Amino acid sequence: MLLQQLISGFATGGLYALAALGLVLIYKTSDVVNFAQGEMAMFSTFIAYTTMTSYGMSYWEAFILALLFASVLGFIVERFFIRPIQNAPVLSLLIVTLGLMMIVNGIAGWAFGFETHSFPAIVGGELKIFGAVISKSNLLTLVITVFIMGILFYMLKYTLAGIAIRATSENPTIARLMGIAVNHVYSITWVVSSILGAIAGMFIAPTTFLDVNMMSSVLLKAFTAAVLGGFTTFVGPVVGGLILGVLENIASGYISAQLSSTFAFALIVIMLWIRPTGLVGQKVGKKV
């Protein structure tokens, strides 16, 4: 049972890490905490579901279409809602993302209804590993998640776009002076964040069922993963997400499944008390 919980925990934690990476990408480049990311991911997941059920698309065709929709949605949100007020106080930006969260949730309810739907898994069936029964879907989810994170980290480290993102996250003013189109970087990070959220949503939907509120708890877990690992580094959300997924699955298996959200909140409080910067985060100072 422990092996089963560990593999399921790594698969779930990888999805938390994807969503948390999206949050941290936006936060590090533009100092915005995007509370609407969960609802944007939910809407993209509904797009995939609708194209499969109403238009007969295959899973992977719907998957790609949903990612394209997510990228467009992320661009629109940044360009028309965030950029015009990017110099506003942080509280104003938070209120805008909270407002977007409510707006997207309401539009999704109006367009798709408030019923709960079953979402197909990537693949069916189970495997037996050392006596533990492991879902093939969980294993494939874990492999795909690791692959996506590998591509993302490669992009951040070795590509011009990745270097521009890292430079902007360190100091947007100096990045502008060095010739980096900071506004384009903001658009790229919102697009990438929206895509990461959509991937997490489509992989999580088969286990939680699809409805307009499916991503609310996932967004909480993504924040927990980011706080646990550290909001000031791109590695932190991955570490935090994997640890959270494993601990949450072990707690659900051996204690109570109803305490998973309580466990996430408790983890945030404990981490902020013991190490406010997260497990791999560092204190960031600014000269004034």
Question: Which residues neighbour 145 within 8 Å (Cβ) at sequence distance 6 or greater?
Answer: 11, 14, 15, 17, 18, 199, 203
162, 284, 281, 167: which is closest to 233 by C-alpha? 281
pLDDT at res. 287: 46
**Could you report the per-residue pLDDT of 156-177, keeping only the tens digit for each?**
889 998 899 989 888 888 989 8
Q: Kindly give the pairing relationship between strand 132-135 and strand 126-129.
A: antiparallel
Query: To the nearest whole percent, how much of the chain has pLDDT over 70?
Result: 93
pTM: 0.89
**Could you report the per-residue pLDDT of 98-153, keeping only the tens digit for each?**
999 999 999 999 999 999 999 988 877 777 776 777 778 878 888 888 898 889 88
Question: Which residues neighbour 244 within 8 Å (Cβ) at sequence distance 6 or greater?
Answer: 13, 16, 221, 224, 225, 228, 264, 267
More confident site: 258 or 179: 179
For residues 142 and 7, the answer to whether their CB atoms sit within 8 Å is yes
**Could you report the per-residue pLDDT of 225-272, keeping only the tens digit for each?**
888 888 778 888 888 888 888 888 877 777 766 776 677 677 778 877
241, 207, 238, 250: which is closest to 221 by C-alpha? 241
